[in-house]
Structure 1
Amino acid sequence: MAYVKKTIISGRVVEIVKKYDRRYFPKGKHAKFKNDVCRQPKQNVTTEQQEKVNYRQKELKLTRLLNCNFTGGDFHIVFSYREDLRPNSIEELKDDKKKLLRKLRTEYKKQGKELKYICVAEIGKRKALHFHFVVNQIDTSIFQKCWTKGFIKISLLDNTGQYKDLASYLIKYTKTNKEEAKQLNGAAWNSSKNLEKPIVKEEVITKSEFFKEEVTQSKRYKNYYLEKDSVHSGFDEFTGYKFFKYTLVRLN
């Protein structure tokens, strides 16, 4: 068989993806007719197309990471600099971030907690350097104690459990300032090593189930709702293979 259903569980969010997968066909037995499971794959992939796909994958990965590790009441914090205290180099900026993280870990430990974070460093439109942090709950008074070089803006995460909009906001700098973002962060973002990863389950399904493009919720997901605009079907733009997907979110 070559039809699979993948279930990705990220906190309260469950993604269901049905797709064709060549790995499950015996050697030499792949489907030959595009009207069965796929169209002809594109042969010439442009750099721009590949970059768009890579960006979407990064955004999806960050969304899942946020959904797995943070919840309502956790914080999105912006640490910014006073103009006269802005770092003179990227190395100085990185050193400031290390010092900030060291102080945060110490304060969390004092309260019997372990710091969990995702961080993105950015340069604003007026060359204003700042950090975006998503962190787990703690007494907010510690943040001013840990950051003395400027201003702090604190926002509470909502209780939806679905933080794709936050992920999009955090990663947008990478999309428009790829090289600067690489210099500042080394990657699209930095995170603590204690973050949980999504649970991925994969099962082989029948051809008839694969082509049945309808949302199905087992008893396991009876307390979930279908996320608006999450139902999509079509063909993968690079592999050419058919897919059908939707997202469920657990109710409070």
Structure 2
Amino acid sequence: MGRWRKKIKAGNTFEIFEYASGRKGLKIPVAPKSNETSEKQKRQNDKNAESKCRWYINQNFRAGDWWIYLTYPAKIRPTIEKAKNDISKFFRGMRTIYKKAGKELKYIMAAGMGKRGAVHFHLVMNYIEAGKIAEVWRAIAGTKETPYPTMNFKPMDTRINHADLAAYIIKNTLESFYDPERRLYADRFCKSRNLKKPKITVKKVKAKRWRKPKPPKGYYLDKRYTYEGYTEDGYPYRHYIFIKIHGEEYET
């Protein structure tokens, strides 16, 4: 049985996954191509989606950028096709506004549909005035009775590791994702093509035991997100995250 180490450099975070397995790296088989997915596989797929979302947020966004919640007026129940067309129209409008401001729109988006058909969107976007964002969505989703549908804007804070935000976004779309009649997209989240990819490397290690995590120079260990135990398949597993000490020196 080999031991493998997977390193992910995303923004000012440096994640390490250590895993013992006969397979290379940390890759665990994705859901089988059948109508049903085992609960164990679902949990693993959820974790994988959360990790990917976290890496892209940490790599591309910083304090002051937006975490946004968009929805429709209370009685509006759009079809999946209309909801997808609406959010595409929203992004087209926002690209025009960003371009006029000399910026390039960057985003991550996840969509969910409630049991009664209410649709909502969670977005992470680089900063521009909230009023401009609100006007674009109002023109798309607003009605005569409710010209300003619910929109929540929260600036991203100064933390470097946005693990909680990524977990929230994925968690709040799980229910509809596993319901074929309410699933809007095949992927857990969508992202603009201009996002920078996290840097990922995988290699086999010779050590028979894991040593105590030692932060690289200029980093510290984020103890809130340190885990050591076993996978559901019984393999030893460890995950920890290092944070750059001077996180304000954000690398774009």
Question: What range describes the TM-score normalised by the shorter chain of this pair?
Answer: 0.7 to 0.9
**1:21-32 matches, cutoff 5 A:** 21-22=21-22
Whole-Å Cα distance in 2 between the matches of residues 141 and 165 of structure 1?
A: 26
TM-score when normalising by structure 1: 0.79
Match of 1:193 in 2: 193
Change (3 A) 1:6 1:90: closer
Match of 1:213 in 2: 211
**1:150-169 matches, cutoff 5 A:** 150-169=149-168
**2:164 maps to 1:172:** no
**2:246 maps to 1:248:** no
Whole-Å Cα distance in 2 between the matches of residues 181 and 135 of structure 1?
A: 28
Check conservation: 1:132, 1:170, Cα contact below 8 A.
yes
Farther off after superposition, 75-84 or 187-196 = 75-84
Match of 2:79 in 1: 89
1:113 maps to amino acid: K
Check conservation: 2:227, 2:240, Cα contact below 8 A.
yes
SS in 1 for 2:173: helix
**2:230 maps to 1:235:** yes
C-alpha deviation, 1:141, in angstroms: 2.5
Structure 2: runs of 5+ lacking an equivalent: 25-36, 143-148, 248-252
Change (3 A) 1:164 1:171: same
1:58 maps to amino acid: A
C-alpha deviation, 1:126, in angstroms: 6.5
**2:135 maps to 1:145:** yes
Give the aligned length. 224
| Bigger Rg, which one | 1
Sequence identity of aligned pairs in percent?
33
Whole-Å Cα distance in 1 between the matches of residues 197 and 118 of structure 2?
A: 33
Whole-Å Cα distance in 2 between the matches of residues 78 and 175 of structure 1?
A: 16
Whole-Å Cα distance in 1 between the matches of residues 20 and 181 of structure 2?
A: 35
Pick from 97, 109, 113 the counterpart of residue 123 of structure 1. Answer: 113
Q: CA RMSD in A?
A: 2.4
1:183 maps to amino acid: R
Check conservation: 2:61, 2:126, Cα contact below 8 A.
yes
TM-superposition CA deviations, 1:118-149 (whole Å, max 9, x none): 11222357653222211001122211221212
- Runs of 4+ that moved beyond 4 A: 124-127
TM-score when normalising by structure 2: 0.79
